[in-house]
Amino acid sequence: MSFEPLKGIRILDLTSVVVGPVCTWRLGQYGAEIIKVESPEGDLMRGLGGMSPTGQHSGTYLHLNRGKRNICLDLKKPSAKEVMQRLVASADVIVANMRPQALARLGLDADTIRKTHPEKIYCLITGYGTEGPYAGQPTYDSVVQGATGMAGLTLKRDGTPTYVPMLICDHVSGEIAAGAIMAAVIAHKASGTGCSMEIPMFETMAAFVLQEHLAQHSFDPPVGEAGDLRLLSPYNKPIKTSDGWISFTVNTDPQVRAFLNATGRSELVNDPRFTSVAARARNVGVWFEVRGAALTGKTTAEWLELFKAADIAVQPCHTLDTLPGDSHLQAVNLISYEVHPTEGRTAAIRSTIRVDEEYAPLQAPSSPRGAQTRDLLEEIGYSEEAILAILAEKAALSWDPAAS
C-alpha cells in the first residue's frame, strides 16, 4: 500500500522559481493534491533553469514541478480574481513565495484570506522576516548565500567568498517549509483551526549556518575563533589519486588507525597527537595535513578497495557526467525515463524515502502552463459556458495540446 498521508489535502500553490516549488513538490510526494497557479508570463524557472526542447520545461522546472496540476490565470482580470477566490475556498493549504506587498495588492495575503477562512493553513515563504529592517526586500538564493555568511566561509581558504554552485538556500528552505506545513496539518487535524506561517529564508539559513559555524563564538566569552575549523581547513577537500579524486572521512579512533595503516603511515598510529578525538581536535592543523595528503600512489579503484576493506567511509568523487551512471544509483533505479507531454523522453527522479519497503510511485510529469485550467474551472463549479467566457477574455489560459 503506498504511503500517501497527505491524500485528500489540497494545496493551492502560488509559488514560482525554486523555494516554493520544492516545498509543494515534497508535499506532493506525500500524496497532497497540488494546484499550481501560474501567470501568463509563466514561472521564471521554465526558461531560467536551462535548455529544453521547447524552451518551456528546463530540467530544474521539470524535476521540481512533478505531480502538480496547473491553472494559468491573469490576475489583472476581475474574473480571474473570482476564480482565485474559489480556488482559495477549495484549498486546505495556501503556499506563497511572492513578496508580502504583492500578495496584499492581490488580496492573497494571509490576513485577508484567513479573515474569511480561519480554518486555512497559510504558509508564506519570504526573503526576510516582517519585523526587521530588511522586511519586504527582494531576495534570491545567491543573495541569501552572501548574507548568511555561507559564501564567506571560503574567504580564508580561497581568498574570495564563493557560492555553493546550487540553489542551496532555496532548496533547503523549501524542504523546511514542507516540514512546517506538515506540522500545521497535524495541528489542524487536532484542533480544526488553521494558522498563518511565515518562513523567512534569511533567518532560516542564517540559523542553519550558525548551528554549525558559530562554534567557539557560541560561548561568552568565546573560546576561540568562530567556525568549525575542521570544515574550514584548506585540507578539508577531496583527495587526488593517480587517476581522479576520492572522498573519505575518518572520525573514530579505529577508523584513524585503519587509515594510517592503509596509507603506509603506521608509524603515526601511536602518535599521541592523533590517538583520540580530543587529541586530533587539539592538533587539527597537522592532523588535517596528514589526512589531506595526496594519495597518488594508486588509482581511485585501488584506494576504494583498500579503504572499503578497512571499513573506512569512502567514495569516488562524481561529476555530473558520471553520477547518473553510479553503480548503486543504477541498481536502485533512482532515475527512470518517461514521455513528457511536450518535451519528449525525459528523466524522472523518484522519491528516495522508503516506507514499508516501497518508494512513493512517480507523480505525473510537470504540466505545460494551463494544462489543467479547464478541469480545475469545472471542478470549482464553473459551467462550460462560463469557462468559455473566461477563456475568451483571457482571464484564464488553457494549454492546447494540438498547438504545441
CB neighbour list of residue 34: distance below 8 Å, 6 or more residues apart:
11, 13, 24, 25, 27, 28, 67, 68, 69
Shortest CB 388 distance to its own copies, Å: 31
Q: Which of 75, 74, 136 is nearest to 107 (CA)?
A: 75
Could you tell me the three cell numbers for 260?
594510517
SS3 256: helix
Note whether 389 binds its own copies by CB under 8 A: no
Could you tell me the three cell numbers for 133?
529592517
Shortest CB 273 distance to its own copies, Å: 15
| Complex with its own copies: residue 262 or 386, whichever CB lies closer | 262
Shortest CB 337 distance to its own copies, Å: 6
Could you tell me the three cell numbers for 97?
513565495
Shortest CB 173 distance to its own copies, Å: 9
Binding mask 356-375 vs its own copies (x if CB under 8 A, - otherwise)? xx------------------
| Complex with its own copies: residue 107 or 152, whichever CB lies closer | 152
Region binding its own copies by CB under 8 A among candidate stretches 77-85, 260-268, 312-320, 379-387: 312-320
Note whether 220 binds its own copies by CB under 8 A: yes
Kindly identify the residues of this chain, within the stretch 286-305, that bind its own copies according to CB under 8 A.
none
Q: How far apart are CA 301 and CA 123, in angstroms?
A: 48
Region binding its own copies by CB under 8 A among candidate stretches 73-81, 154-162, 374-382, 394-402: 154-162
Q: How far apart are CA 263 and CA 385, in angstroms?
A: 77
Of 69, 157, 265, 394, the one binding its own copies (CB under 8 A) is 157
Note whether 186 binds its own copies by CB under 8 A: yes
Of 102, 207, 293, 309, the one binding its own copies (CB under 8 A) is 207
Note whether 235 binds its own copies by CB under 8 A: no
Kindly identify the residues of this chain, within the stretch 260-289, that bind its own copies according to CB under 8 A.
277-278, 281
Of 115, 264, 345, 401, the one binding its own copies (CB under 8 A) is 345
CB neighbour list of residue 163: distance below 8 Å, 6 or more residues apart:
142, 145, 146, 151
CB neighbour list of residue 250: distance below 8 Å, 6 or more residues apart:
256, 258, 259, 291, 312, 313
DSSP alpha helices (H): ranges in 74-167? 78-90, 100-105, 110-116, 141-147, 155-158
Q: What is the DSSP string of 372-383?
A: THHHHHHHTT--
DSSP state of 263: T
| Complex with its own copies: residue 6 or 83, whichever CB lies closer | 6
Query: What number of chain residues touch its own copies (CB under 8 A)?
Result: 156
Cα–Cα distances (Å) from 30 to 9, 13, 122, 182, in that order, read 10, 15, 18, 10
Of 132, 285, 297, 325, the one binding its own copies (CB under 8 A) is 132
Q: How far apart are CA 42 and CA 73, in angstroms?
A: 10
Shortest CB 348 distance to its own copies, Å: 9
Q: How far apart are CA 313 and CA 73, in angstroms?
A: 51
Q: How far is CA 227 from the centre of its chain?
A: 24
For residues 387 and 71, is the Cβ–Cβ distance under 8 A?
Answer: no
Note whether 113 binds its own copies by CB under 8 A: no
Note whether 176 binds its own copies by CB under 8 A: yes
| Complex with its own copies: residue 159 or 401, whichever CB lies closer | 159
The alpha-carbon radius of gyration of the chain (Å, integer) is: 25
Region binding its own copies by CB under 8 A among candidate stretches 67-75, 88-96, 354-362, 396-404: 354-362
Kindly identify the residues of this chain, within the stretch 45-64, that bind its own copies according to CB under 8 A.
47-53, 55, 58-60, 62-64
Note whether 251 binds its own copies by CB under 8 A: yes
Kindly identify the residues of this chain, within the stretch 66-95, that bind its own copies according to CB under 8 A.
none
Could you tell me the three cell numbers for 322?
558520471
Residue 166: how many CB atoms within 10 A of its CB?
11
Of 76, 78, 224, 404, the one binding its own copies (CB under 8 A) is 224
Residue 340: how many CB atoms within 10 A of its CB?
20
Of 12, 15, 30, 109, the one binding its own copies (CB under 8 A) is 30
Shortest CB 54 distance to its own copies, Å: 10
